[in-house]
Amino acid sequence: MEDKLHQFFSENNFDFKEPHSGHLERFERKLNSTIKKPKTSWKWLSVAASVILVLGFWLGSNHQKRQMDLADVSPKMQEVQNYFVSTINNEIKVLEKNRSLDTETIIENALNELEELEDNYKIFVLELNKNGKQRRIISAMIKNYQRRLDILENTLKQIDQIKNPNLIKNEIFI
């Protein structure tokens, strides 16, 4: 082992000179002084990321196409839509209040028909957005609402007949 060490030191030219005077003091001063590395501030990066996120959301929301509905056609059509929607919602609440074992199938059938009409209405909305404010599309949307009300009114009549079998056309037979 010693031979290898001697061989290593003899083959390599090491500097064995004494350091310059004051070397120890300079070295201790450097050790004691706090090394001031430039601090990397991550605050600017977090602010930049926040700005990019906000900008992304804003651009995304502006690029989303807003679908036109019957209420967007004109103020009158908005009134018509509001009337139909509120009336339909009220009729559905009345239906739900009259739900029982006897009326369950009638109510479920009516709700299924309403669901189909809602799907048709969504198709009309797509056509309205695609083709613009065409009279036939607007008329079909209004007829769709009217059909929904007709279904609800007929269902409520059927429920009244089930609950009051003697009541026919507002007459009571004894």
Per-residue pLDDT reduced to its tens digit, 86-120: 898 888 888 888 888 888 888 888 889 989 999 99
d(CA 145, CA 120): 11
72 burial via Cβ count (<10 Å: 0-12, 13-18, 19+): middle
- Higher pLDDT, residue 116 or 35: 116
Whose tokens are 């009516």? That residue is: 110
Mean pLDDT over 113-131 rounds to: 87
Give the per-residue pLDDT at 84. Answer: 87
Phi, psi of 171 (to 5 degrees): -120, 145
Residue of higher predicted confidence among 86 and 75? 86
Nearest to 153, CA basis, from 108, 101, 87, 105: 87
Q: Which two tokens stand for residue 63?
A: 């690029």
Q: Is the pLDDT of residue 43 over 80?
A: no
Please state, in angstroms and rounded to a whole number, the distance separating the CA atoms of residues 95 and 154.
11
Check residues 96 and 17 and name the one with the higher pLDDT.
96
The vertex-14 CA angle with 25 and 32, nearest 5°, equals 20
Answer whether residue 168 shows pLDDT above 80.
Answer: no
Q: In terms of pTM, does the model score above 0.75?
A: no
138 touches 70 (CB < 8 A): yes
Mean pLDDT across the chain: 78
High-pLDDT (> 70) share of the chain, %: 74
Q: Do the beta carbons of residue 125 and residue 68 sit within 8 Å?
A: yes
Domain ranges of the chain: 70-172
E-only strand ranges, the chain:
167-168, 171-172
153 — pLDDT class (breaks 50, 70, 90) = very high
- 131 vs 172: which has the higher pLDDT: 131
